[in-house]
Amino acid sequence: MSLLLGLTAHELQGLLVKQEISSEDLVKEHLNKIKKVEGELHAFVTIAEKEALQAAQKVDEKRSRGEELSPLAGIPMALSDNILTAGIKTTCSSRMLENFIPPYSATVVEKLQAADTVLLGKCNLDEFAQGATTENSAFGATYNPHELKAVPGGACGGAAAAVAAEEVVFSLGTDASGDLRQPASFCGVIGLKPTYGSVSRYGVVTGASSLDQVGILTKDMTDCALVLNAISGHDPHDSMSIALAENEDYTGSLLNDVKGIKIGIPQEYLQAVDPEIITQLQEAVAKLEELGASCEKVTMPYRDAVLSTYQIIAAAEGSSNLARFDGVRYGFRVETEDLDTLYKKTRGQGFGTEVKKNIILGTYVLSSEQYEAYYLKALKVRTLIKDAIEKLFQDYDCLLLPTTPTVAFAFQDERANTLARDLDIWTCPANLAGIPALSLPWGMVKGLPVGLQFWGRAFAEKTLLRIGFALEQNTNRTRLSLKGKGVC
Amino acid sequence: MGVEFEPVIGLEIHVELKTKTKIFCGCPMEFGGEPNSHVCPFCLGLPGALPVLNKQAVEYAVRAGLALNCEIVPYSRFDRKSYFYPDLPSAYQISQFYFYICKGGHLEIEVNGEKKKIRLNRIHLEEDAGKLLHSGSSITTSQYSLADYNRGGSGLIEIVTEPDLRSAEEARIFLEQLRAVIEYTGVSDVKMEEGSLRCDANISLRPAGSSQFGTKTEIKNVNSFKSLERALEYEIERQREILEDGGVIIQETRGWDEGKGITTSMRTKEEANDYRYFPDPDLPPIVLEPEWIEEIRATLPELPNAKKERLVKELGLSTYDAGIITGSRALAEFFDETVALFNEPKTVANWLMVEFLSLLNANNMEIQESKITPQQLSSLLKSQKEGKISGKIAKTVFAEMFATGKDPEEIIKEKGLVQISDEKALASIVEKVISANPKSVEDYQGGKKNALGFLVGQVMKETKGQANPGLVNKLLREKLD
């Protein structure tokens, strides 16, 4: 039975449809895996065992009644703990929401429920998705399933580790600067950040509203397309979500064919990258050319500005979004005699250091005296970055770069602080431009996974799926095994 | 010192929009319900909840802007205004700061017979905060405070004037006339006592003739037209005394204390919040199509100033009467509808102003709440004109109509109030009055012509006011002359 754990959603669905296995079996199998590895891994903040078993039984009943079910029905999955689940604790890995049980669910959660997927639990992340290693969780770090001494990446390290460690079949996280792609790369799973506006943000606790998108973590490209089918689409509750064609079927773009696709490789983003990763990337280029795509080095300006631009915008929006956690209506509260002290003590003790640093930075850049010098300027530079990327898309269908300049580093690595901050350089331009971005596992370096990153034009997820699928079909580098190491 | 000071006043007026639902969520705009019964994840500031703009609120802001001669800005945006307070669940108010929906504009007012144009700076859209109920007198002195978010997230427009007002009276008149314009547009109930119209005033003094501004104070907690005038009068005097003593005005926010009739300091400029405005990343910009703006313009009713001018020029009302009639849309419409049925505008205006308004005031009612219809008033006036009833009886009938909502004909019939115009019937009463009042008859015949009035009065008394006074007059003269 434990063979089931290695399978993808579409592979498992075949067995479920033939009723060779039940969803309950599948869920139990994964819950057992969770029990086995969680002590070492800590990918989860909350495990919803009872709810998961009930949901699985319900799907099995539906199946036995012959009801028509979605391709994800009965599949065990997990959500990053900043995605609201009615009745199930949603903590954002913060003391502030340690005991917060939301009265409503995020739109993506409702969509996954409508598809009869089974939620096993809520995954650890950096507090309020602020961080790059999952070390900033108020409930302790998550560990990399491939190497427990290494960070899993972040902010959504738990969601990536849970898929990599086969605790769930797929998971959702959020990505405001690479928070999903970077841990996908470190943990060796597929991470897709869709175009801004294509997936609803309603019910997702976001730090940076204009950058954040709910994204998908899977073991293969077909699952990625299936989950995207399930969660994308216009949501009347999210004014920034975009009405595209209803019921888009992304599996249609899973073609083993990249002939004629023009790929640009921004050379600025090959700087300061581990040479071994560069070698891996060159092998990917050779493979893509062999399959009929054309690859060229291109120039993408403003590399030196992306980090500060991102940080100013994210801190500004984050400081505002997190202002609601004031101890008045819900969540953590320090009982005091007067209102001012209530605010100060609740926020002082409820938030962790990284979050407080960002709030202070955001408050500063939005202050009336600094607004023009920082926030307004960052908005202008953001436009320049976006325009530069869009200009490249006039000539290229896709941009290719490493997801990270290094493989996962050790927890105690003295370079960790600088590295963690600089990682965003390779990922956050896609958030600043609002375009879709895919991180695809591409072999190992030093025994740890490497991720290739592909950026597409806005709403051109199909191009990314097609490239990822072709590489997956023609190589054995995209599905990384845990055999013999880490938490296996 | 001998320096004459001139007050410089600008107003910031909040108008609550009468939309069906709140401005950024689907909660109903109904008040007085159980506390926190009209709330949702968004208006409670729960994590993850997002705003969705109510189109009707935008339409109403445009409507108000058009009625106030504003430039409607085709591209506007929402900004977050940040501060911590328990009535503001997300710790920011969604407002418009950098790009607002209506620019400029003006309203012409009439002060002591002189017309004056008061310029507006802008109108912007924003959301309202919730309501707090303190166990003590304020949040800092209370054991506990209760928060009700039913009102939180209601749509508001804030109308900001230029500093064009020059006296407390002018400010009050402006606010009254602005209220009338907004009421005409139908976008709000504009009731100060219910909080759907709120006004803060900025006031400074400067030496008469100076073109520079003095240091201003902002007056809050003004909750009626009269208290706006009183608060400003008080503040003008307070500032004048300080300046005359050679002192300086501190820039601050002051609260009006209605009971004591004074303003007191709430916070100084140094204590003011930095609101850290920035564009709300959860809301797309408002982009208005010119066609839509024109569609809204086409549905605007005739506004108070235009209506007033028409009543004066075309219907011959005095400026004063026209001002009162057009003071509220409901009264003006009642007037128009009555005149359409009974084409004597001055008579109708008199009836509305004297009889109708005094009954409404005495009963503390709005015209919309009254049972009387324009059809009923016009048929009452017709009966009077045709001599069926006297003017005095008409007033009695009107009071009965007001109380019961019955048609005038029914009341006249029920109570037997039809005027006696039958000469034979009246002749015997006239005889009786003549024989009962020999002294008056003698006086009249001796040249005291006004003694006739007394005799007419006696006949009216005998007939309980139902006799046709003209006929009584004629019969008496025939007998006595």
Q: What is the pLDDT of residues B330-361, one digit of tens each?
A: 899 999 999 999 999 999 999 999 999 999 98
Tell me whether B90 touches chain A (CB under 8 Å).
Answer: yes
Tell me whether residue A381 is in a domain. no
Q: Which of A90, A239, A371 sits opposite B51 (nearest CB)?
A: A239
Phi-psi region of B195 (alpha: psi -120 to 50; beta: other; left: phi over 0): left
Mutation to test the B interface, candidates A328, A341, A380, most B Cβ within 10 Å: A328
Share of chain A above pLDDT 90, in %: 92
Mutation to test the B interface, candidates A366, A369, A374, most B Cβ within 10 Å: A366
Identify the sign of the CA torsion A237, A243, A244, A247. Answer: positive
Tens digits of residue pLDDT in B268-327: 877 778 999 999 999 999 999 999 999 999 999 999 999 999 999 999 999 999 999 998
Domains, chain B, in order of start with CATH, read 5-292 (no CATH), 302-414 (no CATH), 423-480 (1.10.10.410)
Tell me whether B341 touches chain A (CB under 8 Å).
Answer: no
Single-letter amino acid code for the residue at A63: R
Q: Which of residues 54-93 of A touch B (CB under 8 A)?
A: 84, 90, 92
Q: CB–CB of B50 and A236 under 8 A?
A: no
Smallest CA–CA separation between A267 and chain B, in Å?
32
Tell me whether residue A202 is in a domain. yes
A411 vs A157, A189, A441, CA distance in Å?
13, 20, 22
A215 vs A182, A196, A305, CA distance in Å?
12, 10, 25
Tell me whether residue A289 is in a domain. no
Report the residue of chain B nearest A209, measured CA to CA: B281
Q: CB–CB of A320 and B86 under 8 A?
A: no
Asked whether residue B116 carries a pLDDT value surpassing 70, the answer given is yes
Q: Which of A205, A338, A366 sits opposite B47 (nearest CB)?
A: A205
Q: How many residue pairs from chains A and B have C-beta atoms closer than 8 A? A: 98
Place of tokens 């998108």: A213
Report the residue of chain B nearest A105, measured CA to CA: B48
Pairing of strands A262-266, A294-298: parallel
Nearest to A429 by CA among A441, A419, A420, A437: A437
Distance separating alpha carbons of residues A104 and A85, to the nearest angstrom: 6
- How would you class A356 by CB atoms within 10 Å of its CB: exposed for 0-12, middle for 13-18, buried for 19 or more? middle
- Residues in chain A closer than 8 A to B92 (CB atoms): 320, 323
The sheet carrying B92-95 orders its strands as B92-95, B79-82, B278-279
Q: Which of B50, B91, B277 sits opposite A202 (nearest CB)?
A: B50
Tell me whether B35 touches chain A (CB under 8 Å).
Answer: no
Q: CB–CB of A204 and B140 under 8 A?
A: no
Q: CB–CB of B92 and A320 under 8 A?
A: yes
Asked whether residue B430 carries a pLDDT value surpassing 90, the answer given is no
| Whether the Cβ atoms of residue A217 and residue A173 lie closer than 8 Å to each other | yes
* pLDDT-based confidence at residue B3 (cuts at 50, 70, 90): confident
Tell me whether residue A91 is in a domain. yes
Share of chain B above pLDDT 90, in %: 69
At A73, phi and psi to the nearest 5?
-60, 130
Mean pLDDT confidence for A21-26: 96
Query: Model-level pTM?
Result: 0.90
Tell me whether B141 touches chain A (CB under 8 Å).
Answer: no
Encoding tokens for residue A12?
């498992």
**Cβ neighbour number for residue B352 with a 10 Å cutoff:** 21
Tell me whether residue A378 is in a domain. no
Tell me whether residue A323 is in a domain. no
Tens digits of residue pLDDT in A322-357: 999 999 999 999 999 889 999 999 999 999 999 999
Mean pLDDT confidence for A470-488: 84
| Whether the Cβ atoms of residue B118 and residue B162 lie closer than 8 Å to each other | yes
Encoding tokens for residue A413?
């690595």
- pLDDT number for residue A258: 97
Mean pLDDT confidence for A145-161: 96
Smallest CA–CA separation between B146 and chain A, in Å?
10
Q: Which of B49, B90, B276 sits opposite A367 (nearest CB)?
A: B276
Domain that holds residue A87: 2-264+394-474
A292 vs A257, A258, A467, B88, B286, CA distance in Å?
8, 6, 11, 58, 45
Mutation to test the A interface, candidates B24, B87, B148, B278, most A Cβ within 10 Å: B278
What per-residue string of b and e applies to B409-441 under the rule 16 or more CB within 10 Å gives b?
Answer: eebbeeeebebbeeeeebeebbeebbeebeebb
Mean pLDDT confidence for A23-47: 97
Q: CB–CB of A323 and B90 under 8 A?
A: yes
- pLDDT number for residue A485: 67
**HSE-up of B147 (CA within 13 Å, CB side)?**
17
A107 vs A237, A283, A335, B406, CA distance in Å?
8, 40, 34, 57
Q: CB–CB of B282 and A240 under 8 A?
A: yes
Tell me whether B111 touches chain A (CB under 8 Å).
Answer: no
Per the document, the length of chain A is 488
Asked whether residue A74 carries a pLDDT value surpassing 60, the answer given is yes
Report the residue of chain B nearest A363, measured CA to CA: B276
SS3 annotation, chain B? CCCCEEEEEEEEEEEECCCCECCCCCCECCCCCCCCCCCCCCCCCCCCCCCCCCHHHHHHHHHHHHHCCCEECCEECCEEEECCCCCCCCCEEEECCCCCCEECCEEEEEECCEEEEEEEEEEEEEECCCEEEECCCCCCCCCCEEEECCCCCCEEEEEEECCCECCHHHHHHHHHHHHHHHHHHCCCCCCHHHCCEEEEEEEEEEECCCCCCCCCEEEEEECCHHHHHHHHHHHHHHHHHHHHCCCCCCCEEEEEECCCCEEEEEEEHHHCCCCCCEECCCCCCEECCHHHHHHHHHCCCCCHHHHHHHHHHCCCCCHHHHHHHCCCHHHHHHHHHHHHHCCCHHHHHHHHHHHHHHHHHHCCCCHHHCCCCHHHHHHHHHHHHCCCCCHHHHHHHHHHHHHHCCCHHHHHHHCCCCCECCHHHHHHHHHHHHHHCHHHHHHHHCCCCCHHHHHHHHHHHHCCCCECHHHHHHHHHHHHC
* Mean pLDDT rounded to a whole number for chain A: 95
Distance separating alpha carbons of residues A371 and B274, to the nearest angstrom: 11
Report the residue of chain B nearest A341, measured CA to CA: B140
Mean pLDDT confidence for B376-385: 91
Tens digits of residue pLDDT in A397-420: 999 999 999 999 999 777 777 788
Tens digits of residue pLDDT in B136-163: 888 888 889 999 999 999 999 999 999 9
DSSP helix/strand/coil, A158: helix
DSSP helix/strand/coil, A60: helix
First to last CA, chain B: 74
ipTM above 0.85, yes or no: yes
Single-letter amino acid code for the residue at B24: F
Distance separating alpha carbons of residues B219 and B235, to the nearest angstrom: 8
Using CA atoms in the order A158, A159, A160, A162, what is the torsion angle rounded to 10 degrees? 80
- pLDDT number for residue A484: 64
Report the residue of chain A nearest B25, measured CA to CA: A237
- pLDDT number for residue A247: 74
Q: Which residues contact A367 (CB under 8 A, 6 or more apart)?
A: B274, B276
Tell me whether A102 touches chain B (CB under 8 Å).
Answer: yes
Tell me whether A104 touches chain B (CB under 8 Å).
Answer: yes
Tell me whether residue A99 is in a domain. yes
Tell me whether residue A287 is in a domain. no
Mutation to test the A interface, candidates B40, B43, B50, most A Cβ within 10 Å: B50
- pLDDT number for residue B468: 80
Between B272 and A282, the more confident residue is: A282
| CATH number of the CATH domain containing A38 | 3.90.1300.10
Q: Which of A84, A316, A324 sits opposite B45 (nearest CB)?
A: A324
- pLDDT number for residue A27: 98
Encoding tokens for residue B249?
């005005």
Tell me whether B98 touches chain A (CB under 8 Å).
Answer: no
Distance separating alpha carbons of residues A290 and A334, to the nearest angstrom: 62
Tell me whether B75 touches chain A (CB under 8 Å).
Answer: no
- pLDDT number for residue A1: 45
Q: Pick the range with the lowest mean pLDDT from A244-248, B88-92, B437-441.
A: A244-248
Encoding tokens for residue A441?
């596992």
Tell me whether A2 touches chain B (CB under 8 Å).
Answer: no
Mean pLDDT confidence for B398-406: 91
Counting the structural domains of chain A, the total is: 1
Q: CB–CB of A324 and B84 under 8 A?
A: no
Mean pLDDT confidence for A96-118: 98
